[in-house]
Amino acid sequence: MNNQKNDDLDAKLKSMPLRQISEKNKGEMHQNLMDQVILHENMTMKQRLIRRFWLSLGSLLVVCLMLFILYVSMNGGIKVFGQSGYKDVIQHYDGVENLEDFEGFLEDIDKRKATSINVVQYGIEGQEFVNQLFYNGKEIEVESTVDGEFIESYVCQSIVEEKERDYKKIFLLNV
């Protein structure tokens, strides 16, 4: 049935002179053409808006990522096990600062609680030796640096304390 209608329309169109079609339907054809152009422009505008949105979002994400990297690099990196709340233990030639924080660190290890602490020593010429101790509930990871430059990294299984008369020795054991 549709084929018959299409054939009838084709026959009518062929029988009409081209000029007659143009003059007769000029206004209607012009309006149809304008509607198609506007529809195309609207789709293009919508696509442009979507494109601008994604480009803006991507740019914002890149800026946020750069700010995050800057923040992390200025604050000494990312803490693997979170903030333990302990101050750096600083060993001078005449004593140790924040020893109570180190004892708290040892208590956390006894409780098998993930924690971390920095042990800082200063050399004769002012070099800063830092041992970062990270406990993950199973083992102690130690990262050593001198004046901010990485020296070594190793893993220990436990910490042993030996108490003498006036002092205490602490050993990291790799058992």
pTM of the model: 0.48
Tokens linked to 129: 């030796």
pLDDT at 113 over 50: yes
In a domain, 41, yes or no: yes
Tokens linked to 99: 């020893």
The amino acid at 127: Q
Report d(CA 56, CA 45) in Å as an integer. Answer: 16
- From residue 172, alpha-carbon distances to 121, 164, 166 in Å are 17, 17, 20
pLDDT (average), residues 70-94: 69
- From residue 55, alpha-carbon distances to 58, 107, 146 in Å are 5, 51, 44
Give the rounded percent of residues in the chain with a pLDDT score beyond 70. 71
In a domain, 84, yes or no: no
pLDDT (average), residues 69-83: 64
Closest CA to 109 of 158, 57, 166, 75: 158
How many domains, the chain? 2
| Other beta carbons within 10 Å of 135 | 22
Identify whether residues 6 and 69 lie together within a single domain.
yes
pLDDT at 92 over 70: yes
Report d(CA 175, CA 120) in Å as an integer. Answer: 25
pLDDT at 83 over 60: no
pLDDT at 135 over 50: yes
Identify whether residues 110 and 55 lie together within a single domain.
no
For position 61, what pLDDT does the model report?
A: 95
Report d(CA 10, CA 138) in Å as an integer. Answer: 85
Tokens linked to 79: 């803490």
Q: For residues 93 and 152, which has the higher predicted lDDT (pLDDT)?
A: 152
pLDDT at 81 over 60: no
In a domain, 79, yes or no: no
Where does residue 94 rank: exposed (0-12), middle (13-18), buried (19+ CB within 10 A)? exposed
Range of the domain at 28: 2-74
Cβ–Cβ under 8 Å, residues 84 and 117: yes
Identify whether residues 56 and 110 lie together within a single domain.
no
In a domain, 83, yes or no: no
In a domain, 26, yes or no: yes
